[in-house]
């Protein structure tokens, strides 16, 4: 990812980004996503771009924009050039890149699926090309039981062996379990953070996969931004938009980010098929999501089956989440989650990466049965030490939303 900002990129950051370099409070009266969208449409209609607001003759253009955004407000925001340079220096020192909707490197999946709701700015650390690979979105509560976390790790391992990216929210609990399972098995992962991206980029467990090009951490919010409930809710759609299908491991009923994000997908956005866990005690939240049209997770037992599951919406003979589905209590008869993946990975168009062994699993599964051992494979460059997201010199981890 290039660290050079185009004039359009600079203008978008000045108009919409808080630029928190060395400070935690928000600065100036930033344009909302809707306000910037209206401004961008107007600029396009007059055959101009955001970068034209930074030229020497920008005053006349700003006057033309007066009916869209107050001219004095635009001038105040565009006058934050020194603050922008400080922020860019800070991001570059921490290997954080920034891309705006005006850049060709902006993820096409977000533009095509979210259109006007795509964030104007994305911050990230790691290989940005992973954002275009699709894969499986895995979401659930951060207050998950150890059994559910183990179950989720197995899902991440299977995705890795199928060479399918795991997309999640980076919060502790289900999110981190899915990413951990994928990364420790040599796969790729996307962490879509709602806050504290700068801190997350320093986690020891992420260091090796970031350097190896198997992980990208990304956020639509300033890298220094703290937790905000609204931000946590809004970023849910980005997780779904980057994936080919989604799996809800656990959810409270009518509350929490996981519930809100899944309901939004099932009733409004309908970007991808939404599956729900079909094994064990699924709880009222999962059952109600299934009643809304979510599909019971078919518990694929090998990489090829997982790939077919993720391509569900491309199969005209298969009922999708947009069609009426008769709810079933599938958890009473579904098989256990896969934990033995001895089959070779399914072919993929993405660049091949050597798979790391997930190790011999001796822990009980969600159903207290004895899992089979995963066949060891040749180990990639660096082994990953299992941590709880700690940075150097820290003993705790960032507390994220209940997703």
Taking only the tens place, the pLDDT of each residue in 342-358 is 434 444 444 444 444 44
Residue 61 located in a structural domain: yes
| CATH number of the CATH domain containing 288 | 3.40.50.450
pLDDT value at 173 more than 90? yes
Task: Please indicate, yes or no, whether residues 81 and 230 belong to a single structural domain of this protein.
Answer: no
Task: Please indicate, yes or no, whether residues 94 and 143 belong to a single structural domain of this protein.
Answer: no
Sequence-separated (6 or more) residues with CB below 8 Å from residue 268 = none
Task: Please indicate, yes or no, whether residues 163 and 150 belong to a single structural domain of this protein.
Answer: yes
Q: How confident is the model at residue 102 (pLDDT cuts 50, 70, 90)?
A: very high
Residue 198 corresponds to which tokens in the numbers above?
């700068």
pLDDT digits (tens, 9 = 90+) for 33-79: 999 999 999 999 999 999 999 999 999 999 999 999 999 999 999 99
Q: For position 95, what pLDDT does the model report?
A: 95
CB 173 within 8 Å of CB 198: no
**What is the rounded CA–CA span in Å between residue 297 and residue 248?**
9
**What is the rounded CA–CA span in Å between residue 335 and residue 338?**
9
Task: Please indicate, yes or no, whether residues 112 and 186 belong to a single structural domain of this protein.
Answer: no
Q: What is the crossing angle of helices 303-310 and 146-161, to 10°? A: 90
pLDDT digits (tens, 9 = 90+) for 362-385: 333 444 333 343 344 433 444 444
Task: Please indicate, yes or no, whether residues 99 and 11 belong to a single structural domain of this protein.
Answer: yes
Q: How confident is the model at residue 313 (pLDDT cuts 50, 70, 90)?
A: low
- C-alpha dist (Å) from residue 216 to 95, 272, 302: 12, 21, 25
**What is the rounded CA–CA span in Å between residue 235 and residue 257?**
10
Domain final residue pick, 77, 106, 126: 126
β-strands 121-126, 215-219 pairing: antiparallel
Task: Please indicate, yes or no, whether residues 220 and 302 belong to a single structural domain of this protein.
Answer: yes
The total of structural domains in the chain comes to: 2
**What is the rounded CA–CA span in Å between residue 58 and residue 43?**
12
Which residue shows structure tokens 């090998």? 302
**What is the rounded CA–CA span in Å between residue 62 and residue 348?**
49
Residue 397 located in a structural domain: no
To which H or E segment does residue 10 belong?
Answer: helix 7-16
Residue 305 phi/psi, 5° resolution? -65, -35
Domain final residue pick, 332, 363, 395: 332
- C-alpha dist (Å) from residue 359 to 151, 161, 182, 341: 15, 13, 12, 11
Give the whole-number percent of the chain exceeding pLDDT 90. 71
Task: Please indicate, yes or no, whether residues 43 and 183 belong to a single structural domain of this protein.
Answer: no
Section 162-187 average pLDDT: 96
**What is the rounded CA–CA span in Å between residue 236 and residue 232?**
7
**What is the rounded CA–CA span in Å between residue 116 and residue 284?**
34
Domain final residue pick, 271, 301, 332: 332
Q: For position 312, what pLDDT does the model report?
A: 74
β-strands 245-248, 97-100 pairing: unpaired
- Domain hosting 47: range is 7-126
Residue 137 located in a structural domain: yes
**What is the rounded CA–CA span in Å between residue 97 and residue 38?**
26
Residue 2 located in a structural domain: no
Task: Please indicate, yes or no, whether residues 37 and 93 belong to a single structural domain of this protein.
Answer: yes
Q: What share of the chain is helix, strand, coil (3-state, %, to 5)?
A: 40, 10, 50
Q: For position 142, what pLDDT does the model report?
A: 87
pLDDT value at 4 more than 70? yes
Which residue shows structure tokens 């919406």? 313
Q: For position 375, what pLDDT does the model report?
A: 41
CB 255 within 8 Å of CB 285: no
């Amino acid at each position: 990812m290039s660290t050079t900002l185009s004039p359009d990129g600079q203008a978008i950051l000045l108009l919409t980004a808080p630029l928190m370099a060395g400070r935690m409070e928000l600065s100036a009266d930033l344009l909302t996503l809707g306000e910037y969208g209206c401004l961008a449409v107007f600029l396009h209609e007059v055959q101009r771009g955001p970068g034209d607001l930074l030229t020497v003759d920008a005053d006349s253009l700003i006057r033309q924009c007066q009916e869209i955004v107050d001219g004095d407000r635009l001038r105040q925001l565009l006058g934050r050039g020194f603050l922008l340079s400080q922020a860019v220096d800070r991001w570059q020192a921490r290997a954080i890149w920034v891309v705006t909707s005006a850049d060709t490197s902006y993820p096409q999946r977000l533009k095509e699926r979210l259109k006007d709701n795509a964030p104007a700015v994305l911050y990230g650390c790691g290989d940005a090309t992973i954002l275009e690979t699709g894969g499986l979105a895995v979401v659930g509560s951060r207050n998950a039981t150890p059994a559910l976390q183990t179950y989720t790790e197995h899902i991440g391992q299977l995705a890795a062996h199928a060479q399918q990216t795991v997309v999640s929210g980076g919060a502790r609990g289900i999110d981190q379990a899915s990413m951990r399972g994928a990364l420790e098995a040599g796969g790729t992962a996307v962490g879509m953070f709602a806050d504290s991206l700068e801190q997350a980029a320093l986690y020891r467990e992420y260091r090796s996969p970031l350097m190896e090009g198997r992980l990208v951490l990304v956020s639509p919010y300033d890298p220094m931004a703290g937790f905000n409930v609204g931000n946590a809710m809004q970023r849910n759609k980005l997780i779904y938009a980057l994936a080919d299908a989604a799996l809800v491991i656990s959810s409270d009923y009518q509350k929490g980010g996981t519930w809100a994000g899944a309901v939004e997908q099932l009733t409004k956005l309908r970007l991808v098929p939404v599956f729900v866990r079909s094994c064990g005690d699924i709880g009222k939240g999962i059952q109600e999501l299934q009643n809304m049209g979510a599909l019971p997770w078919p518990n694929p037992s090998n990489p090829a089956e997982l790939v077919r599951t993720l391509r569900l919406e491309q199969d005209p003979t298969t009922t999708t989440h947009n069609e009426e589905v008769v709810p079933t209590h599938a958890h009473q008869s579904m098989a256990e989650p896969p934990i033995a993946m001895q089959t070779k990975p399914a072919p993929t168009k993405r660049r091949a990466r050597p798979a790391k062994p997930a190790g011999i699993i001796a822990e009980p599964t969600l159903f207290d049965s004895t899992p089979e051992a995963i066949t060891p494979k040749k180990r990639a460059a660096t082994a990953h030490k299992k941590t709880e997201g700690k940075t150097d010199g820290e003993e705790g981890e960032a507390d994220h939303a209940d997703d």
